[in-house]
Copies of this chain bind each other. A is one copy, B any other.
Amino acid sequence: MDKMRKRDEKKLIALEQAALDLVQENGLSQLTINKLAKRAGVSVATAYIYFENKADLLGHLYQTAREQLIDSIPEPNEQDAISLQFETVMRAYAHNFNEAPKALNFMAALAANPEYLPEALQGNTTLLGPAMLAVIKRGYLAQMLLTDNVDLIIAQALQPLQWLYQVRAQNQVVVASAELDQLIAMATRAIFKA
């Protein structure tokens, strides 16, 4: 039993890694099950043991990437000042985006082409995760936010961050530490009251 499970894990991880690599290299539209299987070192039919179809496969990988990048971020310490909490979460996003640029690219590609995903997931493409949501709620309750419109907060905080990291990864340029500082400062000015 254990051995079987181990094999599962290996194949799954191989498929996952191959998918991230291929999308990074050639774009989502070039990701086919054949290429994926070949790259992962498994047979095409094997992929269909683990996943129902291509959409299901992409959906799972998408969820994994999303979890790694977003859902894994812990809620910040409630004792800290709200703006510090915001900064902490922003830095956590940035850290994740920086560590896993392929996952970031993969997630972004699927968010821009939701028709690849199973219908159940097509509406679930926001960058907002539980940690940032908590911060926003706290900021709202403390009346420190300029707006209660969550879309606008995402637009001025998470979207810029994601866009910057993705553009830079595409061009293989790093985001300098000072740039991140500045982006967070700008986002903070944008969404918090003076």
Please pick, from B108, B112, B160, B167, the residue contacting A156 in the complex, using a CB distance under 8 A. Answer: B160
Q: Is the C-beta of A164 less than 8 angstroms from some C-beta in chain B?
A: yes
Nearest-neighbor residue (CB-CB) of A191 within chain B: B186
Q: Say whether chain A's binding surface is mostly helix, strand, loop, or mixed.
A: helix
Q: How many residues of A contact B (CB 8 A)?
A: 36
Q: Do B152 and A164 touch across chains, with their CB atoms under 8 A apart? A: yes
Q: Which residues of B contact A191 (CB under 8 A)?
A: 186
One digit per residue, 1 when the CB lies within 8 angstroms of any chain B CB and 0 when it does not, for chain A 19-48 equals 000000011111000000000000000000
Q: Which residues of B contact A160 (CB under 8 A)?
A: 152, 155-156, 159-160
A116-175 contacts to B, CB under 8 A, are 116, 146-147, 149, 151-152, 154-156, 159-161, 163-164, 167
Q: Do B151 and A164 touch across chains, with their CB atoms under 8 A apart? A: yes
Q: Do B151 and A167 touch across chains, with their CB atoms under 8 A apart? A: yes
Give 5 closest A-B pairs by Cβ, nearest first.
A27-B115, A112-B112, A155-B160, A190-B190, A186-B190
Interface residues of A (CB under 8 A from B): 26-30, 108-109, 112-116, 146-147, 149, 151-152, 154-156, 159-161, 163-164, 167, 179, 182-183, 185-187, 189-191, 194
Q: What are 24 A-B interface contacts by the 8 Å CB criterion? A: A27-B113, A28-B113, A29-B29, A29-B113, A29-B115, A29-B116, A108-B112, A109-B113, A112-B112, A113-B113, A146-B186, A152-B160, A152-B164, A152-B179, A155-B159, A155-B161, A156-B160, A156-B187, A156-B190, A159-B159, A186-B190, A187-B190, A189-B189, A190-B190
